[in-house]
Structure formats: structure tokens, C-alpha cells
């Protein structure tokens, strides 16, 4: 007589395991040793992991919450209550919403990838490309929105630099499609590509600084400098695997480099939004 499977047997499977218990494809993070989710092989299992603690919890929720916030802001910008009595031009609001959309894509794609990264190797690799697309969208929309308000009233110059930035954004994402761009060993390559993409946004700033007929006022330079510092600091933590590389098992669940990177990116995104607000209002209060 066949033995009946206990109805609750599946629940006996541990939710989190050590790195050594994972299949080979999930063992890429050599400095994180504990609190891994098991391979789920189902989206339902992945989404259930939102409800318990593991080493991707902070990565998921840090960007999920911020992503929802940006979606709400982009939606709110379309309603009169957002305008606060100002008669904003449609193109001005569109530039602001472009950034909010790019930032929301970044955060939501990132949260989705980190949520389903335990599904299977095939799904994880495919969704990792969504994560890269989100990063490229965030950087590109940041540079485009800053250029629009920084070169306000200079349509030809604005279109010239926006075209260059969009081309750089496409090229950056295209370079991420190759499988060799994945994994911890390629972290420095990815960082270099995305930093180079971000640097394209400084071209219009440099142009304005060198031109006697333009000013830097519309760029909100203090916000640009601050957000750039947060992005670079977060990237430094991520690329160098600080702090988990030096304090094994201490930061497996809370405070690992990727989590620090996520939080600092979110801070930089908020700073850019504040800078855009300042630049936008400048054209309606002076």
C-alpha cells in the first residue's frame, strides 16, 4: 500500500538555507553565507517570500516602496492639485513625469528581479536584464530631465543633448544584454558602463558653465553634486562588497553592500526630484 503524503509536508521545507545548500547557479555571492531562499520554481513561491525575512528582503522592499511612491507622484502630477496654483506648461510637467517614470521603472523592475531571482536560473537571468533596463532608464531620465530644466528656453541645444543622452542610454543597455555582463565578476564593468552613462548628463552642464550666454541656475547644481555623491558612494559599497567581505555572516540579512547600494540610490533619486522641483519653480517665481 502506497504511503500517503502528509498534507503539510511541503511546509516542512525550510524557507531559508545556507549558501552551501543552494544549487550552483545561486551560489554567486560568496560573501553572503546565510538566509537564502530555496529555489522556488514558481512565481507564487517567489511572491510568498515577500512575507518572511531572507537576505533579499531589504533589496525588494527598499525599491518596491520607493517605486510605488514615484508612480504615485507621476500620476499626481497630472492633476490640478499637484500644481499648487501655478500654471505649469505641459512640457514642463512632461519632463518631470519622464524622470518619475524612469525612476519608478528602475525601482519596480529591481524589486521584481530580486523577488523572482530564486525562481529558476532561466527566469533569474531573464529578469536580471529587466533590472539593467531599469538602471539605464533611471540614469537616462535623470540626465534628460536635468538637461531640459538646465537648458530651459534653448530647444535646439536641449534636443541635441537629449538625443546624445538617449543614444548613450540605449548603448549602455545594449552592452548589458551579453551574458558576460552578469555576475559578481562583471560588477566593475557594469559600474563603469552606468557611470559613463551618468557622465553624459554632465556634458550640458559643462556647456552651460563655459558659455557666456548661459547660466547654471537651472541645473540645481547642489542637488546634482549631492545625488552624484550618493550614487558613487553606493556603487563603491556594491563593487567592493563592503561590509560583508570583511565581516562574514554579520551582514547576511541586514546591511549588506547591495542593500546599502539600494538605499543610497533611493536617497539620490529623491534628491534629484527635489532638485527638479527647485528648477521647475524657478521658472514660475522669477
Q: What's the domain count of the chain?
A: 1
The answer to whether position 82 is within a domain reads yes
Q: Report if residue 19 sits inside a domain.
A: no
Q: What is the pLDDT of residue 13?
A: 64
Cβ-contact 150, 117 below 8 angstroms: no
Residue 54 phi, psi dihedral angles, 5° rounding: -155, -175
Does 30 fall in a domain? Answer: no
Does residue 57 lie within any of the structural domains? yes
Please report whether residue 29 resides in a domain.
no
Contacts with 237 (C-beta within 8 Å, 6 or more apart), sequence order:
257, 260, 261, 264
Which of the two residues, 10 and 260, has the higher pLDDT score?
A: 260
For residue 247, being part of any structural domain is answered with yes
Q: What is the pLDDT of residue 286?
A: 66
Per-residue pLDDT band for 85 (boundaries 50, 70, 90) equals: confident
Look at residue 25 and tell me if it is in a domain.
no
Q: Residue 55 falls within a domain, yes or no?
A: yes
Q: For residue range 195-225, what is the model confidence (pLDDT) as tens digits? A: 999 999 999 999 999 999 999 999 999 999 9
Map grid coordinates 516542512 to a residue: 12
pLDDT tens digits for range 86-97: 999 999 999 999
Known binding residue 258? Answer is yes
Residue 14 scores a pLDDT above 90: no
pLDDT tens readout for residues 148-180? 999 999 999 999 999 999 999 999 999 999 999
What is the rounded CA–CA span in Å between residue 116 and residue 44? 9
Domain residues for the domain of 149 are 41-285
Which CATH number covers residue 258? 1.20.1070
In the numeric block, which cell numbers belong to residue 119?
525562481
Amino acid at each position: 500500500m502506497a504511503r500517503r503524503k502528509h498534507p503539510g509536508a511541503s511546509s516542512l521545507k525550510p524557507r531559508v538555507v545556507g549558501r552551501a545548500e543552494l544549487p550552483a547557479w545561486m551560489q554567486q555571492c560568496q560573501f553572503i553565507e546565510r538566509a537564502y531562499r530555496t529555489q522556488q520554481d514558481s512565481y507564487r513561491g517567489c511572491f510568498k517570500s515577500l512575507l518572511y525575512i531572507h537576505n533579499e528582503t531589504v533589496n525588494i522592499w527598499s525599491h518596491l516602496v520607493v517605486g510605488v511612491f514615484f508612480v504615485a507622484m507621476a500620476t499626481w502630477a497630472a492633476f490640478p492639485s499637484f500644481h499648487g496654483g501655478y500654471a505649469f506648461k505641459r512640457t514642463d510637467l512632461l519632463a518631470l513625469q519622464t524622470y518619475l517614470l524612469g525612476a519608478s521603472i528602475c525601482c519596480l523592475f529591481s524589486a521584481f528581479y530580486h523577488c523572482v531571482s530564486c525562481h529558476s536560473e532561466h527566469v533569474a537571468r531573464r529578469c536580471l536584464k529587466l533590472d539593467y533596463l531599469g538602471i539605464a532608464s533611471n540614469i537616462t531620465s535623470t540626465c534628460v530631465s536635468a538637461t531640459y530644466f538646465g537648458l530651459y528656453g534653448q530647444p535646439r541645444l536641449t534636443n541635441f543633448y537629449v538625443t546624445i543622452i538617449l543614444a548613450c542610454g540605449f548603448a549602455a543597455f545594449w552592452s548589458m544584454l551579453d551574458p558576460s555582463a552578469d555576475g559578481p565578476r562583471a560588477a566593475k564593468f557594469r559600474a563603469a558602463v552606468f557611470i559613463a552613462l551618468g557622465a553624459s548628463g554632465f556634458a550640458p552642464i559643462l556647456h552651460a558653465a563655459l558659455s557666456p550666454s548661459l547660466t547654471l541656475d537651472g541645473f540645481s547644481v547642489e542637488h546634482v553634486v549631492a545625488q552624484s555623491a550618493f550614487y558613487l558612494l553606493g556603487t563603491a559599497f556594491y563593487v567592493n562588497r563592503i561590509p560583508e567581505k570583511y565581516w562574514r555572516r554579520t551582514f547576511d540579512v541586514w546591511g549588506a553592500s547591495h542593500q546599502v547600494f539600494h538605499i543610497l540610490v533611493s536617497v539620490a533619486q529623491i534628491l534629484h526630484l527635489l532638485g527638479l522641483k527647485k528648477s521647475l519653480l524657478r521658472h514660475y517665481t522669477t
